[in-house]
Structure 1
């Protein structure tokens, strides 16, 4: 009897494979497709509270199930590449709209939309050799939060405040520095909790020393850049200026470029660049009610990856 093609097999026959793919999807938020990484990250999100852990879990499960149902390439599903945007979308929508049934319904819609957007962006960016990253999350979440106030049955998202000009930034204390180091990591998941950041770093360590070191250096670079630019100490300590730097550090320093001194420096440059870009995008989008989300990470990584083949030192390292 001829075996059924892998990509056509019903989801119900492989429940454990589905759960493993979803768990890897949580780990893929940090660009690491490891089961133990995903398990520890998810445990950290539940430690932050049900209002974080539940939408993260449901978002990942729904987007992964949508990918199975739509017949997406099984390899990408197994690696968790169809789940991480849904994980972030669930956290962002429920966190913005509140722990409300309508917010969870909208999350389900957003997670299916993430799967469709992932396919569309893969087709658009593939010829240029650029990864999708968290762009589906940014697009889906931004669109749904912008649309929510137009529908009376949906809770309204919290208003986005325009950042006030900073004239005299406070000095960073030792407590601010270590809190910022871990909060930068937790803010990748929109959580201001250094305990969560510590657990996420432990999960990254399970994926290898290079991944956790890249995240740590990215966090340090983001904090240093925010301090050098005069960001308010309270915002720096809360990780609001450094989470994109963590993601850029992992992407360029541990995943998308070979391990060389030149590429390590390039990753640190990208981490610092994303920190400045985050402040610029926040100031640009806030008056329009837009959310910065992880756009600085996405745009910085795309730009530096596109430039890398044309930079002799990096081209030599990549060859």
Structure 2
């Protein structure tokens, strides 16, 4: 098995990047890293043996990146959301969710293919929501300690959040009380929060891994994360613990990169990437209270909904150029330029031939 599955979560596609991200997960939390590997092994068996999915899909990591998130997110969030340690039974739930995510991926991919849309991380969202609700129904977490207003419990035990409890309620007319150094930290942490990991080391390794693959994609993702983090200041109340932890930025992080990965980059696409990050963050603000009623995090549902809608919108317009076989944005630009040049040359030859005949 390759490392493709680990980095396809953030659209990057080379073994070194995947290895760096896996190291980051283990540095952040050994249990998270172990849960990730555990779910990958199960998912690989399901994809290869049970469903017999195409080798091209498996080698690219497409059926496996949702199980990666199943493992990392469940291992990271179970204890804070259920107020109890991870037990062997929880590992069993994780394994079941890994199986579900591959099956859901296969089904959704087939359904969405007719519309030329990807499944993104919807399989992870569906599978993990099912086991979280199932565990809740089984009696886990009878007294949850989650701050449902912010999606994740504030990590005030970290040195990065010292004094957070004294932060003031921020209004649009009183932004001076925002702790901007922590806002900047939240922008960085948003990359690690894609895997529900709050770790500077992991987030930095994610950035390096992405930069090795595509500087343009890296810039789009981190700008999206920054937009999401800043938007949190106007769609949520202080003291902004979740924004400082990167929780408000990860959907924007993914949304910003999604547009550049599936559409040939252009000034319009860059603007749409910003719009997509904003839309994902506003959706997150809207659904947090709804999910909070069942003590669920929003996972990456906001990113999926926003990105599917905008990608469908640009697919119906001749002003945008969808990528037939996604690789990386710089290559998409080069291929588009070459194709445009070839079409232009053919047009000139046809005009010359017509003139000679005339």
Query: TM tier, shorter chain?
Result: 0.7 to 0.9
Q: Is the contact made by 1:148 and 1:157 (CA closer than 8 Å) also made in structure 2? A: no
Q: Is the contact made by 1:61 and 1:83 (CA closer than 8 Å) also made in structure 2? A: no
Q: 1:172 to 1:46 in 2, by over 3 A?
A: same
1:76 and 2:57 correspond: yes
Q: 1:138 to 1:260 in 2, by over 3 A?
A: same
Q: 1:230 to 1:99 in 2, by over 3 A?
A: closer
Q: 1:224 to 1:162 in 2, by over 3 A?
A: closer
2:347 maps to none
- Cα distance in 1 between the residues matched to 2:109 and 2:143: 30
Give the 5 Å matches for 1:219-238. 219-232=225-238, 233-238=240-245
Displacement, 1:29? Answer: 1.1
Q: Is the contact made by 1:149 and 1:157 (CA closer than 8 Å) also made in structure 2? A: no
Match of 1:251 among 253, 258, 262: 258
Displacement, 1:172? Answer: 2.6
Displacement, 1:290? Answer: 3.2
- Cα distance in 1 between the residues matched to 2:294 and 2:141: 19
SS for the counterpart of 1:301 is: helix
* Residues 178-187 or 304-313, more deviating: 304-313
Displacement, 1:63? Answer: 1.1
1:86 maps to 67
SS for the counterpart of 1:314 is: coil
Displacement, 1:158? Answer: 4.4
1:263 maps to 269
Larger radius of gyration: 2
Match of 1:178 among 173, 184, 190: 184
- Cα distance in 2 between the residues matched to 1:122 and 1:246: 23
Q: Is the contact made by 1:225 and 1:275 (CA closer than 8 Å) also made in structure 2? A: yes
Match of 1:64 among 15, 19, 44: 44
Superposed CA RMSD: 2.4
1:189 maps to 195
- Cα distance in 1 between the residues matched to 2:301 and 2:130: 14
* TM-score, scaled to structure 1: 0.86
1:3 maps to none
Match of 1:29 among 9, 14, 38: 9
Q: Is the contact made by 1:94 and 1:100 (CA closer than 8 Å) also made in structure 2? A: no
Match of 2:308 among 283, 302, 312: 302
State the number of aligned residues. Answer: 296
Q: Is the contact made by 2:117 and 2:308 (CA closer than 8 Å) also made in structure 1? A: yes
2:154 maps to none
Give the 5 Å matches for 1:280-299. 280-299=286-305
1:163 and 2:149 correspond: yes
Deviations 1:164-202 (A, max 9, x none): 8x9645733232132111111111010122221111111
1:113 maps to 100
Q: 1:230 to 1:280 in 2, by over 3 A?
A: closer
